[in-house]
Structures are given as C-alpha cells and as structure tokens.
Structure 1
Amino acid sequence: MYIIPFMTFLFITDELVLVSSETPVYNAKLPSRITALSGSCVQIPCTFEAPENELKNATSIFGFWMKNYPYPEPWALVVFNGSTNISKGFSHIEITGNLSQRECTTVFYDVMNNHSDSYYFRVEIKPHWKYSYLNPINISVSDSPQPLIFKPTDLKAVMEETTVSLSCSAEAPCPKQPPTISWSNIPESAHITTQLQEKPNKTQSVFSHMTFKASYMDHRKNISCTATYPRKTSKDSTVETTVMLQVLFPPKETRIKIDPSASVSVGTNVTLTCKSKANPSNNMIFYWHKRGQDNQLDLGEQLTFTVNRSSGGWYFCIAKNEHGIQMSEEIQLIVPELSVRLITGCVGGILALLLFLLATLLKRAQTARASSESIVRETDQDREQIDCIYVNDFIKRVK
C-alpha cells in the first residue's frame, strides 16, 4: 500500500467517488501472466491489500473478477460475481482463498481458447468499502501443454559408478487436476520422487527427481520424461523430453572370436578378433598373448596367422583404454593332425585284426569240412565190406 501524493481528483467506478490527494492505493499480488490448457482448469494464486479496520468491521466480503477492464458493468464483463456466486462465460469459477485473510486465490474451470484475456480482481467489503485492483493477470489458453523443464539442460558424460541426478518439472496450471510424470528406460538403481511444488510466483508445477549410479549398461540409453495432462477432451495431452546418457567406462565383456573355427588343420589361415565394450572406444589398444610364452604376440584388434603344428594352444587378449584394462578368457586353438594319424593307425590295426580273425575262422571251417568228408568215406567203405560178406554167405547157402 502506498499514498498518491497528487491533488484531489474524481475516481470513476460503478459510482462516483470523491478522492483526496491522500487516498491510499492498494495492490493485488498475482502473476502477471499464466498459461492454461484448454479443456482443463486454471488456478490463479492471489492475495490483496485492504484497510485493516474495514476487514475488522466487515459484515461480509465478496470477490469479483472482471474481463478486460478493472471496473464492473457497463464498462467490463463481470465473469464472476461473489455476492450472487454467478459465473458468466465460464462453466464455473470458484474463489478458494479466505477473503477475510486477504486471500483471493481463484480457480477458473473448463477454460477454452476464447477465454484468453486480461482479468482484474475486485473486492467489496460491506458495509461500504469497494476496490478494483489495477494490476491484471493475463490468461493465455493453449491446446498444447507447456514444454517440460529438464535439468541438467546440458547432460555431459559421466564416469561409471558416479551418482547422476536428473529432474523433470511440468507446469500445473490446474493443481486440482495436476499432470502425472513418468520416466522410461529407467536404470536399475534409480530412485524417483515426485511432488507438487509451489514456484516463487505462487503458481505450481509437478517436480520429479531421479538419482542413480551410472553403469556401463546405461551408456547411450535414451531416458525420457513424459507428463500427461487430464482434460475434458477425447484424449489426454502429453509432452515429453528425452536425453541420451553418456557413460565413461573401462573395457567390459572382453572376449575372443575365432574364424573359421577353434579346430583347424595345418596350413589354414586363422583370424582371432578381440571384442570389447568401452567408452571411449576410438583409442583402445589390444594386446595378444599365448599361454606359456612370455613375449607378446602382436598389437591390434585382430591376430591373423597360418596354422602350423606348434600353433595349437591357449590364446588371450587384453583390451585397454584411458580408464582401465581387461583380459579376456583364454580360448583354445586345436590343431588335430597328430590325433588324426593316431586314430587312423588304430582303425588300421583293428581292421587287420578283424581280417586275421576272419581268415582263421575260414581255415578252421575248411579243416572241419575235410575231416567230416573223410569220416563219411570211411563209413561207406565199411558198409561195402559188410554187404559183400552177406552176399557171399547167401550164395554159399544156396549152393
């Protein structure tokens, strides 16, 4: 409140009032501008100044809202009349603040695009004090929600195992129907808190805070924050923002790939490739080693050579970047020439043994057959001799 130091003048409202040079000027405290979402409501935070004695002696207090002009009809449209509780141009308007405590917070319901305009607050304290506040609030109605505020705005690369904090806030012009905030691609270690917060200008927003420990598995992960606004339309409105997480980490999951296979013959060209995940990866160094050999075999992601009899054995690689090193598991390269010869010799020996056994069985079978035929011949000769004796004896008796 302050005093106007000017000379006496006429101040025109809905009635003529004579004002002296010492007439105090009162203010209403409310945002100068607010953006509402069509099909939803909008809450206007508001407090006002008024004479202490008028409030103390008040028999009743009423609040009013005028569109585009601070004074009532016929100069401006009274969109809300507190004395009659009638709204014009809106489905419903409600003063939720306690006027006796100088609180004039008001909710305009079901705002539409044609409601975009400047609105002035007026108070009437019975029996005789009336005042229109000259600082308006400009309500702008949009079909789309306001963009989300994402922090940090510039997400830099973070080291593995460090704690990362992300926040996402969405305007809540209608705290009675606030937006819901959801996150996607959430890291396993994430902890999320969400709450309705009041901003310095007394408007509100939904604030969501997420913390997690960075893992190499989160590298290049797109983390999204989405706000969904309920409204009286066929579909809810959503707004989303996405950030890509960059994680710095030493080599992980280091392994060896063999081409063409882990078992090769002498004279075959073999390529061993060292695979590893790391960030940064453009300056990685790869070292090649063989179990039992002190000297390093080679440098580079690939190791290519022609297989000889001494190439068989266990190989491993070491991957290194600026953040650390990792050794792969050993992988065995098999050169099967000697094994094949041994198997061939064994098979040949078994075949020779089988042939020998077969020949022996055939010889025994032939011997048995010859013996049987000899016995048969001897038996036939004996029968012939017996037959001759019987015949000669028969002839003698006849004679």
Structure 2
Amino acid sequence: MCNDILKCLFILLFWFSETANLPSRITALSGSCVQIPCAFGVPDNELKKAESIFGVWIKHEHAFLNSGSLVVYNGSTNISTGFSRIEITGNLSQRDCTTVFYDVMNNHSDNYYFRVEIKPQYWLYTYNLNPIYISVSDSPQPLIFTPDLKEVKENTTVNLSCSAEAPCPKQPPTISWSNTPESAHITPQLQEKPDKTQSVFSHMTFKASYMDHKKNISCTATYPRKSSKDSTVETTVMLRVLFPPKETRITIDPSASVSVGTNVTLTCKSKANPSDNMTFSWHKRGQANQLDLGELTFTVNRSRGGWYFCIAKNEHGTQNSEEIQLIVEGSFDQSLIIGCVVGVSAILLTFLLITLFLRVQRVKASTIMETDVSDQGLEKQVQTIYANGGFVSGEELEMPKDENDIVHYGEIDFSTSQTKITSVQGSGQETVYAEVRGPGMEMNQD
C-alpha cells in the first residue's frame, strides 16, 4: 500500500511517463506505406526545459546500443536506414509521435520501438514496454461487411457498409460496388478506429425489391502500391429479400386448345420468398367455389372450356394470375356466339335502313319529275289556246271568197276534262280553230 499520497502520485506519474500509446500490431501492404499512430508520455517539467526534441525508431531490440538492434530512423540526423524514407508527421512537442514508413517490404516485418531524446540531455528514453509489430503482406486485409445480411423485407430500407483497412492514409484504397440495386446511394469516407489506425468506409443505402432477391452484391477495394499493378481485394454478399408472390402465371399442358377426352394439366407458377409454404388455388370465371389446390388435372369435356385463373399465397401476401382460356375444339364460347349474332344483326339492320332510305329518295325524285313534266305540258297547251283566241279576236275574220277555201275548226270539251284540238288541212293555207265548250253551253257555228 502507498501511505504517502504525494509519493503515490509521483510513482503514477513516473509510470505514465514511461509509456507510449501504440497499436500492438499493424499490417502493411508490400510496396505501399504504413502509418503508425503514436503518442508518448513525458513529464511536463522535462518538456518545458526542452530546447530541442527528437524521435528515434529502433528495430528488433529496444536497447539503443545493442548490436542486435537497428536504428532505422534518427530524428537528430534525419537519416533512414533500411527504408526509402521515414517521416514523423506528429508534433513531438505535443507528445504526438505519429510516423509514416514508406515503401515497406516483406523483410521489414518486425518489432519497432520508439525513443525520445530531449536536449540538452534532459530526457533520453526508449519505450520498451509497448513496441509495435509491423507485419508486411503481399495481399490486402479482408474487407468487412456490416451488418451481416441474412434476410430483409421487400420495400424496407437497407443500410450496407463495406470497410477496408487503410494502413497508409496518404495512399488510401478506393472502394467500388458491383451488381448494386437500382435505388442504391453510396457515400465513401475515411474513418479512424479506436486504436488510431484508419480505414476506408463506404456506406450504401437502398430500398429492397423482390428483383434483388439472391443478388450477389460485391465490394472491391483497390490499393495503390509501388509495383507493376495495384492490389485488389473483394467480398461478396448474397441479398435475401422476403416478398409475397410476384409474376404469377399459368401454363397448360398439352395446350390451351384441346379436343374432348384429352387429359389436361394446369400449373400455377409464381416467384416468392419464402416459397416452401406457398399455396395455389384454382378458380373459373362464373363459378363462385374454389376448384382445387396445387396442380389442376382433368379430362376435357365440353363443359370444361372457359376462363381459368389461380391465386398464389405465402405468409407475406397473395397475387392473382391473369385469366387464361381453355378452348374445347368443336365448341364455341357462348359469349362469342352472342357477340357474332349481335354484330351480324347490326350490320343487316344498317343495310336495310340504308336501302329503304335510298328507295324513298328515288320515289320522291320520280314524283317531282312527273309533276314538272305534266305541268309543263298543260302550260304549253293553254298557251297555244290563248294564242289562237287572241288571233281570232284581234283580227277581222274574212269569209272565204270561194268554195275552195277551207275552214278549220278546233274544239275543246271541258265536260270531259280534256282539251280537244282539231285541225283541218286544206290546200293553200291552214286555219286552226279552238272551241271551248263547258257544261250547259253550246257554241253555234254559222
């Protein structure tokens, strides 16, 4: 037990000052770089007296002067040994010793210790209690899918993430997706993990559709490296969507047109998940009762013709198929017969109406024409009569001077509603007389 509080605080401060905050292990990709997050402890009073502060990295052994150890980087001289370049990117005056090792190779796999030197000779310390092991690999680390998708319901929003280790944030991997749903929205970002290492994170959001069921969605990370080609790593997950029956349809074997006595099988097919407990019920247009479940098999007679449909059902819903007609050869559908009769009757009735109309129009035209002709004939006759009458009344009648002169008489008898015109031919000249005789009237000729 520690009885002196000040002494205990001093011991705690001493132990804290001898620790460095480093990941115990980090995996690097050969031909790329690796960033080591690092923080160290040092007493405030020592840090305040510092005129200069340097960082040192030692490989394999922590002893600075040990022959088995190798100083791969000395900040006081800024010299790297065994590496193309090492750079401390952290601010040492703020106890940040984050460092980047460039172009790591397989032979660089080992333990590494951080050492701090504060000058003038106030603080020289190697943090040997917590080294970091750098493991160099020719292949990138596996990708991580979250969450581990098992089943999602149709029309629900799905959030899927893919993350790739980024041992070298200065040259991070790029993440791409393939075979993604049409509604997918993707957002990439760089994330820092609790141990201060980083990873590239890609988030995808989409609405689940039955068309995405059993779709293999792939996530691929591509790492740039100092080699002939980049390194890639890929992970695939199968999406499972729960949905009610879709694309329900009927097939008929042997065909939709059969003769009496043929054995026919109607099969209902549909897409659904789950499909193990899916049921199919059969129905016929005009019949209220359900026909059967599963496949529908029967021997065809004339009453079996008609329109059939099926209903597919699982725990998430139902769907009706389109109707399909089973035609029995030699028989006709009643509705088709009625339709044909009505159509033919309508055509005949229209034809008769048109014929009757045309006939009436012809009769009217003929009557009008006859009336016009009759009126024109009578008018012509009357004009002749009045012309003759005017001639007789307007001129002095001369008696023939000898018996050779011939007198012509014309007679119109209205008692019989007829006009009679008589003309007598004589030699030399022709005289036309018109006589109008009405009932009770006589006209004497002297």
TM-score (norm 2): 0.68
Within 5 A, what are the aligned runs for 1:299-338? 299-300=293-294, 302-338=295-331
Deviates more, 1:194-203 or 1:54-63: 54-63
Q: 1:29 aligns with which of 21, 36, 51?
A: 21
1:149 and 2:157 are equivalent in the alignment: no
- 1:319 aligned partner, one-letter code: A
Measure how far apart 1:199 and its partner are: 0.7
Measure how far apart 1:25 and its partner are: 4.3
Rg larger in structure: 2
- 1:186 aligned partner, one-letter code: T
Q: Which residue of 1 aligns with 2:249?
A: 255
Measure how far apart 1:23 and its partner are: 9.6
Q: Which residue of 2 aligns with 1:119?
A: 112
Deviates more, 1:200-209 or 1:211-220: 211-220
Q: 2:159 aligns with which of 148, 159, 165?
A: 165
Q: Which residue of 1 aligns with 2:290?
A: 296
Measure how far apart 1:74 and its partner are: 4.9
1:44 and 2:36 are equivalent in the alignment: yes
Quick check: 1:97–1:103 contact (8 Å CA) kept in 2? yes
Measure how far apart 1:338 and its partner are: 4.3
- Residues 1:108 and 1:209: Cα distance change in structure 2 (over 3 Å): same
What secondary structure is seen at the aligned counterpart in 2 of 1:200? coil
Measure how far apart 1:249 and its partner are: 1.2
Identical pairs, percent: 80
Quick check: 1:65–1:120 contact (8 Å CA) kept in 2? yes
State how far apart, in whole Å, the 2-side matches of 1:318 and 1:51 are.
79
Q: Which residue of 1 aligns with 2:270?
A: 276
State how far apart, in whole Å, the 1-side matches of 2:17 and 2:92 are.
19
Per-residue displacement from partner, 1:314-345 (whole Å, max 9, x unpaired)? 11111111221111111122224146xx9xxx
- Residues 1:23 and 1:200: Cα distance change in structure 2 (over 3 Å): closer
Within 5 A, what are the aligned runs for 1:1-399? 3=10, 25-75=17-67, 76-129=69-122, 130-134=124-128, 135-153=130-148, 155-300=149-294, 302-338=295-331
What secondary structure is seen at the aligned counterpart in 1 of 2:304? coil
State how far apart, in whole Å, the 1-side matches of 2:276 and 2:126 are.
69
- 2:71 aligned partner, one-letter code: V
- 1:190 aligned partner, one-letter code: A
What secondary structure is seen at the aligned counterpart in 1 of 2:245? strand
State how far apart, in whole Å, the 1-side matches of 2:20 and 2:80 are.
21
What secondary structure is seen at the aligned counterpart in 1 of 2:141? coil
- 1:306 aligned partner, one-letter code: T
Measure how far apart 1:145 and its partner are: 1.5
Greater fraction of residues in strand: 1
Quick check: 2:17–2:41 contact (8 Å CA) kept in 1? no
- 2:60 aligned partner, one-letter code: N
Measure how far apart 1:240 and its partner are: 2.0
- 1:97 aligned partner, one-letter code: G
Quick check: 2:144–2:164 contact (8 Å CA) kept in 1? yes
Measure how far apart 1:286 and its partner are: 0.9
State how far apart, in whole Å, the 1-side matches of 2:16 and 2:188 are.
44
- Residues 1:53 and 1:327: Cα distance change in structure 2 (over 3 Å): same
- Residues 1:2 and 1:67: Cα distance change in structure 2 (over 3 Å): farther
Per-residue displacement from partner, 1:126-166 (whole Å, max 9, x unpaired)? 2222222222111111112122222223x332222222222
Quick check: 1:2–1:24 contact (8 Å CA) kept in 2? no
Gaps of 5+ in 1: 6-21, 343-399
Aligned-CA RMSD value:
2.3
Per-residue displacement from partner, 1:99-140 (whole Å, max 9, x unpaired)? 122111000011111111111111222222222222211111
State how far apart, in whole Å, the 2-side matches of 1:241 and 1:23 are.
44
State how far apart, in whole Å, the 2-side matches of 1:124 and 1:157 are.
57
Quick check: 2:17–2:40 contact (8 Å CA) kept in 1? no
Quick check: 2:167–2:198 contact (8 Å CA) kept in 1? yes
Deviates more, 1:192-201 or 1:225-234: 225-234
Per-residue displacement from partner, 1:358-378 (whole Å, max 9, x unpaired)? xxxxxxxxxxxxxxxxxxxxx
Gaps of 5+ in 2: 1-7, 338-446
- Residues 1:286 and 1:209: Cα distance change in structure 2 (over 3 Å): same
- 1:61 aligned partner, one-letter code: I
State how far apart, in whole Å, the 2-side matches of 1:24 and 1:240 are.
42
Quick check: 1:3–1:25 contact (8 Å CA) kept in 2? no
- 1:211 aligned partner, one-letter code: T
What secondary structure is seen at the aligned counterpart in 1 of 2:258? coil
State how far apart, in whole Å, the 1-side matches of 2:132 and 2:206 are.
41
